[in-house]
A and B are shown apart, each in its own frame.
Chain A
């Protein structure tokens, strides 16, 4: 251990960026998911050379290294599951360059998505990916987990905005992928491979991101439904009618009731579900689209459709949506937030399955999420001190994943696999599918030093929310 510290001190000469106290080690042992794993040491690099030298050293001595942003990950991505070095990149935010002419942002890994978007707005541009954690989470973490957000429906997720990267490989080499051109088909698309690889193939030390023109106008609609399955149908019908909203979010009755109990914003509590729709684009086009969306919703038995009259009113509606997450944990402290995603056409069926699972396992299941892209957030509220309840939760979660995959969906729409969902990987990808991924990992990281224990299940690994 002391030797490790001495060696790292030669690489990172500012010793205040090498953390070894018990309190410091505890502070990098968790993220926003489950589990607690102590690292041996934490380093906070601020240059590519420091990252590369650390990796070279770790690779030679076969010491695991875990890149980490601000630790908002919901899947266990940055957890130091086998001990070793946590590489805290959250403080490396020195570069945030907007190349307005080429509509690009060039950033260092510790910059937040919010900061990128704000810098872009000064040039009338936006950085569209908008995960809820966007003012905290680092872009490095967003890239690793391929984060999404409500705007994913129209604008896609993080991977759709990355055209070039500087990456330090597990062996400590520095490579560049892609570049500043929008089109680039030279060789394998390593950029796309790195994005979403959850820090298992390389450490992003710089990213070149595409920006988008700021939409001229936005409007918000709310549609109320007495039957949740109807609301699912309305979502499918709107999308197949040729309108592409910027966001389309759903809240079920349980989430509405929770929000109203927490911070009342006047939402009706006797509906089965409501959907919030944001349309953006040219003001004239939006006006027409509003009418069509209203018609479609009413045709699917919507009780009422209303349009926010002022920006303030629209803001309030979106605030209510944002409050779902906090509001539901007021009942019990533990929140298991899943992001199983199904093809849009299967949303009504998925709702039905979730209702069944809720009853079968007697769990507090709340459904909300980015319904427009099929990315639901079934959340189970529990108390982790209640072991019996947690066992039921584990079983219910497992069944949620099974349902999603049976319906042609996926384990994760935007949170990543990390440690939590590794046990289900084979269910979605099959043995050979995982094997191909493992071969890629082996080629990049022959010594398995970079973020080991993530994505791929260890033999016999089961889905567990309880320690021990």
Chain B
């Protein structure tokens, strides 16, 4: 049995007040207590008490986005994240053998082969770039060959960004400050999906950091942050990746370890949770996490060299992990509002997850689209209509882009990362 893996004591601190309900995108969308944070905590508790089987909680746990908005809403600080991870790990352990072959292949390919492996990601990125540039994309789209993929992958194929090819992997790269003596020495954390699909954003991030006087180094030893593995219950891989990252960055003494990825940033600042039973590594993890910061925090403290007005109505979909885990709420918004000419319009219910949530939108495609439909309903309520949606995480970025496409708004609304918009306003390009 896997009962010992469940965070039973943490479930006992829930007083079942229900204050989390309205904050939960799956409760609001699926309209059942079973898909609420309070419901999930109760199911984990009952499973730990042996009153239900672990299979009984699977569906509910599987459908959790892990956005952790409930933690922000919780008046007594129940550690939902810990409870969720424990349930995911217990379920993963139990069903290792039972996974459907297709799911097992997709998952294992994504998590164990692709994501932590720079070379494959590079190849994928390069492949994508070629695929897009040569017109193969058009042919593939027309031919229907993509239909052999599950519907979900097909949908995402339609919105893939134009890939630039990743930052160079095998070598250290150092980018000097634009202002002589550096303001900060920054180690840049580039992420995997980000570095493959959105490497241009990483490049722009580095240039913005340089523009405010930072010296930026991209160290070659860095690894995937491990978030996707952890959310899928692959704890062993998570630990390995976390150790490699901590060791790698320990070598360098940066003032800050900066990233432009809401989800990875959240994982990096919570590394200590991975090492709950390992005092030595907990300490090292804490030291590491202390230096980790989202790019918006650094940029918002300095004056950016804006040179161009962006005369557009703009809305912003915050990344859940940025809001609820990193608690970085003000900085991105402040930066956005600083852009000359901009008309900022708040997205109704902006703190609701868009449904991207790691690989949720791939493995739980239909449910994810229901959540996205709610999100797009709110986008359409904004008056005047925004022409730009700003995001701060590649997952949200792709999801919002898909939402725009599904609503037939592709010609009216573009989806950008905050960094891209800032760079545009500073007339910085790659």
Residues of A with Cβ closer than 8 Å to B? 19, 21-24, 26-28, 30-32, 44, 70-72, 88, 91, 133, 135-137, 322-323, 325-326, 329-330, 333, 335, 384-385
Interface residue ranges of B32-66 to A (CB < 8 Å)? 32-34, 36, 38-39, 42-43, 46, 51-53, 56-57, 59-60
Q: Which residues from chain B contact A19 at a C-beta distance below 8 Å?
A: 32, 34
Asked whether, in the complex, the Cβ of A26 is within 8 Å of the Cβ of B18, the reply is: no
CB contact between A326 and one of B12, B42, B43, B75 (< 8 Å): that residue: B75
Q: A26-B34, A330-B77 are in contact. List 14 more A-B contacts (CB 8 A).
A: A22-B56, A23-B56, A23-B57, A23-B59, A27-B32, A27-B36, A27-B42, A32-B18, A91-B31, A136-B17, A136-B21, A326-B75, A329-B76, A335-B15
Can you list 19 contacts pairing A with B, beta carbon distance less than 8 Å?
Answer: A19-B34, A21-B34, A23-B39, A23-B52, A26-B43, A26-B46, A27-B34, A27-B42, A27-B43, A31-B16, A32-B17, A70-B18, A70-B21, A72-B18, A133-B17, A136-B22, A323-B75, A329-B13, A333-B15
Q: Known contacts A23-B59, A24-B34: does B18 contact A333 (CB below 8 Å)?
A: no
Asked whether, in the complex, the Cβ of A133 is within 8 Å of the Cβ of B18, the reply is: yes
Asked whether, in the complex, the Cβ of B77 is within 8 Å of the Cβ of A136, the reply is: no
* A-B interface, 5 closest residue pairs, ranked by CB to CB distance from nearest: A326-B75, A27-B33, A326-B76, A27-B39, A27-B34
Q: Which residues from chain A contact B42 at a C-beta distance below 8 Å?
A: 26-27, 30
The answer to whether the Cβ of B254 comes within 8 Å of any Cβ in the partner chain is: no
Complexed CA–CA distance, A22 and B55 (Å)? 10
Q: Which residues from chain B contact A326 at a C-beta distance below 8 Å?
A: 75-77
Q: Which residues from chain A contact B249 at a C-beta distance below 8 Å?
A: none
Asked whether, in the complex, the Cβ of B18 is within 8 Å of the Cβ of A71, the reply is: yes
Asked whether, in the complex, the Cβ of A72 is within 8 Å of the Cβ of B17, the reply is: yes
Asked whether, in the complex, the Cβ of B18 is within 8 Å of the Cβ of A23, the reply is: no
Smallest CB separation, A304 vs chain B (Å)? 29
Asked whether, in the complex, the Cβ of B56 is within 8 Å of the Cβ of A21, the reply is: yes
Residue-by-residue, is B180-207 near A (CB-CB < 8 Å gives 1, otherwise 0)? 0000000000000000000000000000
Q: Which residues from chain A contact B32 at a C-beta distance below 8 Å?
A: 19, 24, 27
Q: Which residues from chain B contact A91 at a C-beta distance below 8 Å?
A: 31
CB contact between A71 and one of B16, B51, B52 (< 8 Å): that residue: B16
The answer to whether the Cβ of B281 comes within 8 Å of any Cβ in the partner chain is: no
The answer to whether the Cβ of B19 comes within 8 Å of any Cβ in the partner chain is: yes
Q: Which residues from chain B contact A333 at a C-beta distance below 8 Å?
A: 12-13, 15
Complexed CA–CA distance, A91 and B34 (Å)? 14
Number of B residues near A (Cβ < 8 Å) is 29
Q: Which residues from chain A contact B38 at a C-beta distance below 8 Å?
A: 71
Residues of B with Cβ closer than 8 Å to A? 12-13, 15-19, 21-22, 31-34, 36, 38-39, 42-43, 46, 51-53, 56-57, 59-60, 75-77
Smallest CB separation, A70 vs chain B (Å)? 5
Smallest CB separation, B27 vs chain A (Å)? 10
Q: Which residues from chain B contact A330 at a C-beta distance below 8 Å?
A: 76-77
Complexed CA–CA distance, A133 and B17 (Å)? 8
Asked whether, in the complex, the Cβ of B18 is within 8 Å of the Cβ of A136, the reply is: yes
Smallest CB separation, B85 vs chain A (Å)? 19
Asked whether, in the complex, the Cβ of B22 is within 8 Å of the Cβ of A30, the reply is: no
Asked whether, in the complex, the Cβ of B75 is within 8 Å of the Cβ of A325, the reply is: yes
CB contact between B60 and one of A23, A133, A322, A335 (< 8 Å): that residue: A23
Complexed CA–CA distance, A323 and B60 (Å)? 30
Q: Which residues from chain B contact A335 at a C-beta distance below 8 Å?
A: 15
CB contact between A136 and one of B19, B39, B51, B60 (< 8 Å): that residue: B19
Smallest CB separation, A368 vs chain B (Å)? 14
Smallest CB separation, B284 vs chain A (Å)? 29
Complexed CA–CA distance, A24 and B39 (Å)? 9
Asked whether, in the complex, the Cβ of B16 is within 8 Å of the Cβ of A44, the reply is: no
Q: Which residues from chain B contact A323 at a C-beta distance below 8 Å?
A: 75
Complexed CA–CA distance, A23 and B56 (Å)? 6
Q: Which residues from chain A contact B77 at a C-beta distance below 8 Å?
A: 326, 330
CB contact between A44 and one of B13, B22, B31 (< 8 Å): that residue: B31
Q: Looking at B17, B19, B53, B57, which has the most chain A CB atoms within 10 Å of its CB? A: B17
Q: Which residues from chain A contact B56 at a C-beta distance below 8 Å?
A: 21-23, 26
Asked whether, in the complex, the Cβ of A133 is within 8 Å of the Cβ of B19, the reply is: yes
Asked whether, in the complex, the Cβ of B18 is within 8 Å of the Cβ of A22, the reply is: no
Q: Known contacts A326-B76, A326-B77: does B16 contact A32 (CB below 8 Å)?
A: yes
Complexed CA–CA distance, A385 and B12 (Å)? 10
Q: A112 — nearest CB in chain B belongs to which residue? A: B22
Q: Which residues from chain A contact B34 at a C-beta distance below 8 Å?
A: 19, 21, 23-24, 26-27
Asked whether, in the complex, the Cβ of B22 is within 8 Å of the Cβ of A135, the reply is: yes
Complexed CA–CA distance, A91 and B29 (Å)? 11
Q: Which residues from chain A contact B51 at a C-beta distance below 8 Å?
A: 26
Q: Looking at A27, A133, A325, A333, which has the most chain B CB atoms within 10 Å of its CB? A: A27
Smallest CB separation, B352 vs chain A (Å)? 15
Smallest CB separation, B41 vs chain A (Å)? 11
Q: Which residues from chain A contact B60 at a C-beta distance below 8 Å?
A: 23
Complexed CA–CA distance, A60 and B332 (Å)? 60
Complexed CA–CA distance, A433 and B75 (Å)? 39
Smallest CB separation, A195 vs chain B (Å)? 22
Q: B57 — nearest CB in chain A belongs to which residue? A: A23
Complexed CA–CA distance, A44 and B33 (Å)? 11
Q: B60 — nearest CB in chain A belongs to which residue? A: A23
Complexed CA–CA distance, A135 and B60 (Å)? 24
Complexed CA–CA distance, A22 and B16 (Å)? 19
Q: B12 — nearest CB in chain A belongs to which residue? A: A333
Q: Which residues from chain B contact A24 at a C-beta distance below 8 Å?
A: 32-34
Smallest CB separation, B70 vs chain A (Å)? 12
Q: Which residues from chain B contact A325 at a C-beta distance below 8 Å?
A: 75-76
Asked whether, in the complex, the Cβ of B31 is within 8 Å of the Cβ of A22, the reply is: no
Q: Looking at B12, B18, B51, which has the most chain A CB atoms within 10 Å of its CB? A: B18
Q: A74 — nearest CB in chain B belongs to which residue? A: B17
Complexed CA–CA distance, A322 and B75 (Å)? 9
Complexed CA–CA distance, A322 and B32 (Å)? 28
Smallest CB separation, A379 vs chain B (Å)? 11
Complexed CA–CA distance, A30 and B53 (Å)? 18
Asked whether, in the complex, the Cβ of A22 is within 8 Å of the Cβ of B52, the reply is: yes
Q: Which residues from chain A contact B52 at a C-beta distance below 8 Å?
A: 22-23, 26
Complexed CA–CA distance, A386 and B193 (Å)? 49
Q: B17 — nearest CB in chain A belongs to which residue? A: A32
Smallest CB separation, A208 vs chain B (Å)? 25
Complexed CA–CA distance, A26 and B49 (Å)? 13
Q: Which residues from chain B contact A384 at a C-beta distance below 8 Å?
A: 12
Complexed CA–CA distance, A24 and B38 (Å)? 12
Q: Which residues from chain B contact A28 at a C-beta distance below 8 Å?
A: 33
Asked whether, in the complex, the Cβ of B33 is within 8 Å of the Cβ of A71, the reply is: yes
Complexed CA–CA distance, A28 and B35 (Å)? 12
Q: Which residues from chain A contact B13 at a C-beta distance below 8 Å?
A: 329, 333
Q: Looking at B13, B33, B60, which has the most chain A CB atoms within 10 Å of its CB? A: B33
Complexed CA–CA distance, A322 and B19 (Å)? 13
Complexed CA–CA distance, A28 and B34 (Å)? 8
Smallest CB separation, B330 vs chain A (Å)? 16
Complexed CA–CA distance, A326 and B19 (Å)? 11
Complexed CA–CA distance, A330 and B75 (Å)? 11
CB contact between B15 and one of A22, A44, A71, A329 (< 8 Å): that residue: A329
Complexed CA–CA distance, A30 and B57 (Å)? 16
Complexed CA–CA distance, A137 and B21 (Å)? 10
Complexed CA–CA distance, A137 and B19 (Å)? 9
Q: Which residues from chain B contact A32 at a C-beta distance below 8 Å?
A: 15-18
Q: Looking at B38, B56, B76, which has the most chain A CB atoms within 10 Å of its CB? A: B76
Asked whether, in the complex, the Cβ of B43 is within 8 Å of the Cβ of A23, the reply is: yes
Complexed CA–CA distance, A22 and B21 (Å)? 20
Smallest CB separation, B351 vs chain A (Å)? 14
Complexed CA–CA distance, A330 and B56 (Å)? 30
Q: Which residues from chain A contact B22 at a C-beta distance below 8 Å?
A: 135-136
Q: Which residues from chain A contact B17 at a C-beta distance below 8 Å?
A: 32, 72, 133, 136
Complexed CA–CA distance, A433 and B419 (Å)? 70
Smallest CB separation, B22 vs chain A (Å)? 6
Q: Which residues from chain B contact A21 at a C-beta distance below 8 Å?
A: 34, 56, 59
Complexed CA–CA distance, A71 and B18 (Å)? 7
Q: A69 — nearest CB in chain B belongs to which residue? A: B18
Complexed CA–CA distance, A133 and B73 (Å)? 12
